[in-house]
Amino acid sequence: MRYPSTPQRLAGGSGTTYMVVGTLIAAVAAYLFQLVAGRVLGPTEFAPITVLWTIQFLVFTTVFIPMEQLTIRRLNAAVAFAAPWRLFLWVIGVAVVASVAFTALTLDQLFGGDSVYVPITAVLILAYGGFALGRGFLAGRGRYREHGLSTLTESVLRLVLAVALLAAGAGAPGLAWSLVAGALVVWLWRPFRGERSLDAGRTPERGTGGALARFVTANGASQTILAAGPLVVGALGARPAEVSVFFETTLLFRAPLTVAYNLISRVLPPFTRMVERGEAATLRRWAARIGAGGVALAGLGYAGGLVAGPAMVEILLGAEFRPSAALAAYAAAGMAIATVALFAQQMLIAMQATTVLAASWLAGLVVAAAVIWIGGDDASLRVARAFLAGEAVAFVGIITAVTTRRV
């Protein structure tokens, strides 16, 4: 496939519209799945589905997205390397084993003792490993239209199957298979076609395993800052109701970040080509723009959360989930930074600077822990303030690294 000699615009053309629209429809379909299934099954029977969803989300964002993005970066590099298939299989296999072990160990506590969830977990993680890898090849080859359609179809098919299964009287175990089916749609677009012939005579890029390990470390620290809040609030002695308010508030403001996970594949290829051409000045300009945008959005998020956040949460979830204005402000500002940081770190991935990326997120995690340890206020505000501080430190580290690093 021929690529343009100058960076494509990061919005518009080349299938970008399919990616944006597909991501938005997928987000709505995912919300409807939760709403329909939760209402039909009720909170008790629906609980195993939420656990499976959480396992899949954590594995996908922490392990499989790095695999997807490093695939995109490799396919847009000036030097053509063979796909590290053995590494991919090892990563997916380890993720499957770890997820199955967790399900088996928590079968009684989280899955009602139903052993059927063990094979479901195995197939679910295996399917999403293929889904992430398939999307990586689609985006890496510039097939953004198919990437967007696979994202859309995954979520919509899951919703359609869920409605059909629930209408037929299927319980949670039957519904769980709809999670698996959605991930298989990427194969409709044959993402790996021609790869065997292209890999002939090539050798895998050296250091890919180390880069992936550092990337997974970065995402692990990032996800800890992002998602561990409710657990920490509970560990600090908060009442169950306070934990629920914290969880629902942060989950609500996380919507832009969730959408962004499906769009970052569009910005990595042009950033990679900038690096390959040695366009340091262009990358620094992008870093400055993204840095300024992150600061502005964080300020707007804080102000909006402070003024309208509590009322918005109450309208959507009910009066019992209304947070304090400060909690809503911290959550909105932190999520704004997290979303912009996700796009900013694509420049470091393009530079193959995964060590710096990991260091930035680990520094953010250390600062977040320090803010919690210092104390003050109630548990929710301490953790929310720590979340904002951790995201801000990591974001500053990423922008600083891009602006000071030689391409």
Residue-level pLDDT at 281:
85
| Residue type at 199 in one-letter notation | D
Residue with tokens 């620094």, as numbered in its chain: 284
What is the pLDDT, as a whole number, of residue 200?
A: 62
Among residues 337, 343, 351, the alpha carbon closest in space to that of 402 is found at 351
Exposed/middle/buried for residue 71 (C-beta within 10 Å: 0-12, 13-18, 19+)? buried
- Which candidate, 256, 245, 259, places its Cα nearest to that of 310? 245
Question: Could you tell me which of 256, 234, 364, 374 has the C-alpha nearest to residue 305?
Answer: 256
CB 391 within 8 A of CB 364: yes
Helices (H), 141-263: 144-167, 172-183, 195-199, 208-227, 229-235, 240-253, 255-260
Q: How far is residue 136's CA from residue 157's CA, in Å, rounded to a whole number? A: 21
Q: Measuring CA to CA, which residue among 35, 15, 39 is closest to residue 27?
A: 35
Is the CB of residue 346 less than 8 Å from the CB of residue 271? yes
82: three-class secondary structure by DSSP: strand
pLDDT of residue 7: 40
Q: What is the pLDDT of residue 334?
A: 95
Residues facing 126 on adjacent strands: none
Concatenating the DSSP letter of every residue in 26-79 gives HHHHHHHHHHHHHHHHHHHHHHHHHHHHHHHHHHIIIIIHHHHHHHHHHHTSSS
Q: Tell me, what's the pLDDT at 278?
A: 85
First to last CA, the chain: 25
Residue 11: per-residue pLDDT: 44
Which pLDDT score, from 0 to 100, does residue 18 have? 86
Do 362 and 397 meet the contact criterion of CB atoms below 8 Å apart?
no
- 204 in helix, strand or coil? strand
Alpha-carbon distances of 93 from 126, 128, 131, 163, 348, rounded to whole Å: 8, 12, 14, 31, 27
Q: Are 180 and 59 in contact (CB under 8 A)?
A: no
Kindly give the confidence (pLDDT) of every residue in the chain, 407 residues in length, as a single tens digit, with 9 standing for 90 and above.
333 433 444 444 467 888 888 888 988 898 888 888 878 888 678 778 878 888 888 899 899 999 998 888 888 876 667 778 888 899 999 999 999 999 999 888 878 888 999 999 999 999 999 999 999 999 888 898 999 999 999 999 999 999 999 998 888 898 999 999 989 999 999 988 877 666 666 777 777 888 889 999 999 999 899 888 887 888 888 887 787 788 788 888 888 888 888 888 888 888 888 888 888 888 888 899 999 999 999 999 999 999 998 998 888 777 888 899 999 999 999 999 999 999 999 999 988 889 999 999 999 999 999 999 987 778 889 999 999 999 999 999 999 999 987 76
State the burial class of residue 320 (Cβ atoms within 10 Å of its Cβ: 0-12, 13-18, 19+): exposed
Rounded-to-integer distance, Cα 131 and Cα 182, Å? 9
Q: Where are the alpha helices (DSSP H) in 264-405?
A: 264-276, 280-317, 325-350, 354-374, 379-404
Please report how many Cα atoms fall inside a 13 Å half-sphere around the Cα of residue 357, on the Cβ side. 26
Q: What is the 3-state secondary structure (H, E, C) of 334-365?
A: HHHHHHHHHHHHHHHHHCCCHHHHHHHHHHHH
Phi, then psi, of 165 in degrees rounded to 5:
-65, -40
